Structures are given as structure tokens and as C-alpha cells.
Amino acid sequence: MTLESSSRPGRAAGSPAGEGETPSPAGGPEDLLQESEREPGHPPRQRTPVVAARRPGSWRSRFFRLEARTAPYLYISPFFLLFAVVGLFPLLYTAYVSVHQWSLLGGQGDFIGLDNYRRVLADRYFWNALRNTLSIFLLSSVPQVVIALCLAGLLDTQLRGRTLWRMSVMLPFVVAPAAVALIFGNVFGDRYGLANSVLEAIGVSGVAWHTDTLASHLAIASMVNWRWTGYNALIFLAAMQAVPRDLYESASLDGAGRVRQFVSITVPMIRPTLLFVIITSTIGGLQIFAEPRLFDTKGLGGSDRQYQTLTMYLWELGWRVRDLGMASAVAWLLFLIIVVFALVNLWLSHRAGSLSRGSRRTSRGRSRRRTPAPPTLEAP
Amino acid sequence: MTRRPGFLVYGLLAAFVLGSCAPLYWSFLVGSHSRSELTSRVPPLFPGGHFLANAQRAIEAVPFWKALGNSLIVSGTVATSVVVFSTLAGFAFAKLTFRGRTPLLVFVVATLAVPTQLGVIPLFIVMAELGWVGSLWALIVPGMVTAFGVFFMRQYLLDAVPDELIEAARVDGCSLLRTFWNVAVPAARPAAAILWLFTFMATWTDFFWPLIVLPASNPTIQIALQQLQSGYYVDYSLVLAGTTLSIVPLLVLFVLTGRQLVAGIMQGAVKG
């Protein structure tokens, strides 16, 4: 039962738990030796040999001053250059393309204002794709988060062979979505698939996994769940291990059983991580592509687009219909939908937080630090 | 701590792990039977003897070795480049003082929220202008440094290297680049390994972007898989033998480095 150092207040967002906490020493290089020896947790450092003493006014000190001024910008420039070219520019340029006629082969055409958006919004396949995406997203993310939470609860015990269990749970994550789609496409085969064979063995008639809308969504959601549940469980587990163990002790003294402790202590305490997982899986879920694309051979999402998602619709418009203008309009609409969803998630969780009792303690201090994408950056 | 797990916990976990392995076993199973065996209604439970023959057919049906080589080149290059540039930038953000550091860092973090996947159309146009559509450059260059990597390395280096060590190196006459090399790089090694692994896997498993920019003759492994099942009649013993083969490289990497990967996820939840 350890009350880890992480329960100490005042540590900045994002510093690693436990190790690496350096009490700031008074200063000079003499302290340094002790300092580095005091921390066995760190990898061995190479000691830098004395090259030359710094003499003011020498060419070396001039070089140092110049370097101190320019080098940091040089070091960070690759990111900014690349982001400008492949991140920011495309995003803005998408907006530009979306208000033009633009074909894949012919290139830029006339400016047509919001016409592409109008055409997309009038297209029934857009709404169909939106419905499919939301349905698949809900079918995958809800069970996924619930199962991952329970799984993390199971892993957060004094297991024998802990690392082995964690690795096994994580195994599906290394299988690429394309491979997952092919395997599950076979398992959910309409005639000779494993799923239908099992169903028929227990007396239920086979399901038309590739033609029935709901069934196909279930099949695709199961691919997503299979690949991501274990991964999310490990993220939850990391957060759970930071919950102070004395909370459980006092709860069990009060007569709370394990399930009760899990619901009333563990889940509220890891709320920031829960929120992070929900938001990232929303962003990922709304962009789902490989799994439905490879669920059948034609790649259009079923004979009547029963499982065509928004990203598939974008791909179809851009690289089949070859209308990059309309495809760009879809890209921006998808972006807006994702933003709206992220905001709704945030709002919901804040409401849920202000309603539930245990959360007041959670929302500040140590557990805040556990938020994976910290909203508060430590001022450097 | 009185939370010693009982039989039920192990049982549930084992059931989950079996469920995780089942599809992989199924893939191998189907891949190891001949086409005619599969048309019998009862699915076989034990591997047949045709895996190598099916795998051979899969390898001949698509440019398999070329795809494997492409995937290795792209994933390896991208992962290495992300680690190099992210460590440099992370070091600057964590340990060097310069004008505009805070706003620039906030900007980096803000870009994490922009789904770059949605910029595919202009990115495709840019690549077409550069003449890179169809070549591996179109896959490598856009991924060479990521905001996540920069932030990840910055968070790690913040605590892994004491400021005093860097000052001492400076006093001793080290240039910044040398300080970086001799002080920051050795300290950053564990985080760099994790970042490398995750970037490698993410690049290896990507499907959307390679599908757009690569032609059928020069695929990555994921695109080659897609080609396997194109056509009217799907030969599943062929498709799943190829799928099983394609899974092997990452599976090997996972067996070798799974411990670090798990540690990375557990840490990533903290530092993301």
C-alpha cells in the first residue's frame, strides 16, 4: 500500500510519476555530481569532458552567443516547416478547393461559392454516410469503453505474471486494420462464415452480415472493438494505478464491496482519462475507413452503401467520381462534425462531473496531471 | 492491499485473451486449407497442410516482397526521422531559452487537435505538383516529424535532464549541438525507443493515405492485402494466407518489444 509521491500537490501537468522528481538544488556544478548520483532511477549519463574554459571575448564565446540565439530555432524548425506544408496549408487549401469546381484530372475550374456544399448536403448518400458513421461509432465506442474499463479493473489487481497479461491484452493492436477487415470479412461471411456457422449450430438462422444494415454495422464495430479495447484498457489501467490505495482501504472498512469500490471510487477518480479516451475514440471513430472499405470486395460500402462511412464517401467523391471540390466540402463538413462532437463530449462530461459527488476531489490536484493531453501547459 | 485476485479474475482475463487470439488463429486456419476443403459446411478446427502452398499463391498474386520492402523502408525511415527531429525540437523546448518559446509550444500542442487526415485532398495536389504521387516520398515526407513526437520528447526531457547538467556542459565549453548529443540524447534513449516503436507501427498499419497515392504496382503491405481480395470471386484460403503472412513482421516486433510498448502506453496515458 503505497501512497505514491504523485499525491504530492504542486507538480506540473505532464511530469512523469514518481521517478525523475528533482528537488531543485542550490546551484553550481559541485551540487551536480551529488545530484546525478542521488538518482539511481535515471539512465547513466555520459560525463562531458572539459574542452576549454570559456574566455570572454574569444571567438568561442562569440560563437556561443550566436549559437544560443539561433540554434533553438534551428532545432524546432523542421516541425514548423513540415507542418506548414503538410498540415496547415492543406487544411486552408481544402477550404479553397471546396469553393471551386475542381476535378482530379482537369484541375482547378471556376469559382462556384458554396455550391459544392449545397450539392453535398443535397446528396442522400452524404446523409446515409453520416448515419452509418454515427451508428458504427456508437456501436463500437460504447461497448469498447465499458469493456475496457472492466478489463482495466481486472488488470488492476495483484496479478501473477502482470506484464504477460498486459502484453496479451494488447496483442490485437499490432494487427493492421486492413488485415483485421479481411479476417473479420471472412468470419462474417454470409454463407460459410464462422459467425453464421456458430449461429446455425445453436439453432439461430444465419444473418446477412453484408447486406443487412444493422448487422453490417455490428460486424464492423466488432473489428474496431477487437483492435482497440485492450489498448484502451491499458490507458485506463495507467490511470487506475495512480488512485491512492488508502481510498480503497477506508472504503472496504466502510463495508464497500469490490464492485462498489470500482463504481464509486475507481471510475470517478480516472474521469480525466476516461474523457481523453472518449474524445480520441470519437475522433478516430468518425474517420473510420479501412474496416468498412475492405469489408467487401468493391469498397463502396455494400451493394446499397449500407456501411459507407463519411471518409469512404469522401474517397469515393475524390478518387472515383473525381470531383475534388465536392470531396473537399465533405472534408470540411467532417472536420466540423468532429469539432462539434468533441465539444459535446466535453460539455457532457463537465455536466456529469458537476452532478456526481466524488468528482470534486478528482478535478483538481493530482488526477488532473493524468490527463493525457494536458489542457494546462507548464509555463516553461 | 487486500485485492488479491481470485479464480474469477484469471478466468475472465483468460477468456478475453483467447478472444483476442481467436481471429488470428482463424486466419491461419483458413489460410492452411485448400479452397475445396473450405466449401464443406463444417469449419475445420485444426490447421490443414496447405499453408505454404496458399502463401506461395498469395505471394505470386500480388507484388508481395516489394510491398513488404516498401513498408519496411517507409516505416523505418519515418520512425527514425520522427525520433531525430522530435528529440531535437523537444530538447529545444524543454531546455533552451529563446524568445517565443511558450507561444510556439502552445502552437505545437494546438496542432495536435487538427486531424491532418482531412487535408488529404490538397496534400494529394501538392504531391502531384511535386511529382511524388506513386513514389514512396509521398508516404515518407509528410510523416517526418509529428507534433505528438515533439511534445512527447519535450515532456520526457523536462525531467530526464537537470538544467545544471546542461549549464555545466556549457561552462565546460560544449557547443549546443554537442551538449545535445552528449547529454540529452543518452538521457532521451528510453523515450526515443518508445516513440520509434509507436511511429513505426502507426506508419506500418496506415491504409488510407497509401491507398490514395500509391499505384497498384508499387504498394505497401496493407495495399497489397487489399489487392488480394479484389475480383468477383474471393479465394479466402489465398487471402487469409497472405493476411497471416503480413501480420508476422509486426508480431515479431511485438514479441521482441511488447514490454516497452506496454510501458509506453502506460506512460503515454500520463504524458500523451
pLDDT score, position A46? 47
Q: What is the mean pLDDT of residues A9-36?
A: 37
Interface touch B171/A20, C-beta < 8 Å: no
pLDDT in tens, A79-102: 999 988 888 888 888 888 889 888
Measured torsion, CA atoms of residues A282, A287, A288, A294, in degrees rounded to the nearest 10: 180
Residue B107 in contact with residue A83, Cβ under 8 Å? no
Residue B32 in contact with residue B240, Cβ under 8 Å? no
pLDDT score, position A214? 94
Interface touch A71/B222, C-beta < 8 Å: no
Which chain A residues contact residue B2 at CB under 8 A? 249, 252
For residue B56, the distance in angstroms to the closest alpha carbon of chain A comes to 18
Interface touch B268/A380, C-beta < 8 Å: no
Confidence grade of residue A136 (pLDDT, cut at 50, 70, 90):
very high
pLDDT score, position A25? 38
Interface touch B247/A176, C-beta < 8 Å: yes
| DSSP designation for A84 | I
State residue A101 phi and psi, 5-degree precision.
-75, 130
Interface touch A75/B88, C-beta < 8 Å: yes
pLDDT in tens, A235-258: 999 999 889 988 888 898 888 888
Top pLDDT among B272 and A128 is at A128
Residue A324 pLDDT more than 70?
yes
Distance CA A316, CA B145 (A): 29
Alpha helices, H only, A18-123:
29-38, 59-83, 89-98, 115-122
Which chain B residues contact residue A187 at CB under 8 A? 23, 26
Interface touch A158/B3, C-beta < 8 Å: yes
pLDDT in tens, A273-312: 888 888 888 888 888 999 999 998 888 888 889 999 999 9
pLDDT score, position A16? 38
Interface touch B17/A165, C-beta < 8 Å: yes
For residue B134, the distance in angstroms to the closest alpha carbon of chain A comes to 14
pLDDT score, position A325? 92
For residue B221, the distance in angstroms to the closest alpha carbon of chain A comes to 9
B61 near A CB under 8 A: no
Confidence grade of residue B243 (pLDDT, cut at 50, 70, 90):
very high
- The rounded mean pLDDT for chain A is 78
- Probe site for chain A from B2, B20, B91 (most A CB atoms < 10 A): B20
Nearest CB to B269 within list A177, A187, A370 = A370
B164 near A CB under 8 A: yes
In chain B, the residue whose alpha carbon lies closest to the alpha carbon of A60 is: B173
Cell of B216: 497498384
- Probe site for chain A from B164, B226, B233 (most A CB atoms < 10 A): B164
Which run of H or of E encompasses A24? none
Residue A14 in contact with residue B159, Cβ under 8 Å? no
DSSP B191-224: HHHHHHHHHHHHHHH--HHHHHH--TTS--HHHH
pLDDT score, position A258? 85
Residue type, A207: V
Interface touch B88/A76, C-beta < 8 Å: yes
B170 near A CB under 8 A: yes
User: Cα separations (Å) of A190 from A185, A199, A203, A217, B168?
Assistant: 9, 12, 16, 14, 69
For residue B90, the distance in angstroms to the closest alpha carbon of chain A comes to 8
Q: What percent of chain B has pLDDT over 90?
A: 50
User: Cα separations (Å) of B184 from A32, A34, B270?
Assistant: 15, 19, 21
Cell of B193: 525507443
Would you call A380 helix, strand, or coil by DSSP?
Answer: coil
Confidence grade of residue B177 (pLDDT, cut at 50, 70, 90):
confident
Would you call A102 helix, strand, or coil by DSSP?
Answer: strand
Interface touch B239/A182, C-beta < 8 Å: yes
pLDDT score, position A44? 47
Residue type, A253: L
Nearest CB to A166 within list B85, B201, B262 = B262
- In sequence order, which residues have a C-beta less than 8 Å from that of residue A112 and are 6 or more positions away? A99, A100, A101, A325
Residue A35 in contact with residue A25, Cβ under 8 Å? yes
pLDDT score, position A57? 67
For residue B145, the distance in angstroms to the closest alpha carbon of chain A comes to 6
pLDDT score, position B41? 53
Nearest CB to B119 within list A90, A178, A226 = A90
Q: Which of A5-19, A187-201, B69-83 has the highest mean pLDDT?
A: B69-83
Distance CA B4, CA B101 (A): 48
pLDDT score, position B18? 94
Residue A39 in contact with residue B177, Cβ under 8 Å? no
pLDDT score, position A302? 87
pLDDT score, position B39? 66
- Probe site for chain B from A51, A159, A183, A341 (most B CB atoms < 10 A): A183
pLDDT score, position A366? 38
CB pairs under 8 A between A and B: 377
Confidence grade of residue A378 (pLDDT, cut at 50, 70, 90):
very low
Q: Could you say which residues from 109 to 128 on chain B have a Cβ atom under 8 Å away from some Cβ of chain A?
A: 109, 111-112, 114-126
pLDDT score, position A48? 45
Q: What is the mean pLDDT of residues B54-69?
A: 92
pLDDT score, position A52? 46
| DSSP designation for A5 | G
Residue A358 pLDDT more than 50?
no
pLDDT score, position B268? 62
For residue B201, the distance in angstroms to the closest alpha carbon of chain A comes to 7
Interface touch B116/A90, C-beta < 8 Å: yes
Which chain A residues contact residue B117 at CB under 8 A? 287, 311
In Å, the largest CA–CA distance within chain B is 78
pLDDT score, position A132? 96
pLDDT score, position A370? 37
Nearest CB to B92 within list A72, A172, A338 = A72
Interface touch B267/A238, C-beta < 8 Å: yes
Listed range (A15-24, A63-72, A124-133) with the worst mean pLDDT: A15-24
pLDDT score, position B82? 96
Distance CA A366, CA B270 (A): 11
Q: What is the mean pLDDT of residues B171-194?
A: 88
Alpha helices, H only, chain A:
29-38, 59-83, 89-98, 115-122, 124-155, 162-170, 177-187, 194-201, 213-240, 245-253, 258-261, 267-269, 271-286, 290-293, 310-319, 324-355, 359-362
pLDDT in tens, B105-156: 999 888 877 766 678 888 998 898 889 999 999 999 999 998 989 999 998 9
Interface touch A197/B175, C-beta < 8 Å: no
pLDDT score, position A353? 64
Residue A26 pLDDT more than 50?
no
pLDDT score, position B40? 62
Interface touch B169/A48, C-beta < 8 Å: yes
Burial of A258 from C-beta contacts in 10 A (0-12 / 13-18 / 19+): middle
pLDDT score, position B55? 92
Which chain B residues contact residue A297 at CB under 8 A? 229-232, 234
- In sequence order, which residues have a C-beta less than 8 Å from that of residue A71 and are 6 or more positions away? B92, B96, B176, B177
Residue A95 in contact with residue A328, Cβ under 8 Å? yes
Would you call A110 helix, strand, or coil by DSSP?
Answer: strand
Residue A221 in contact with residue A288, Cβ under 8 Å? no
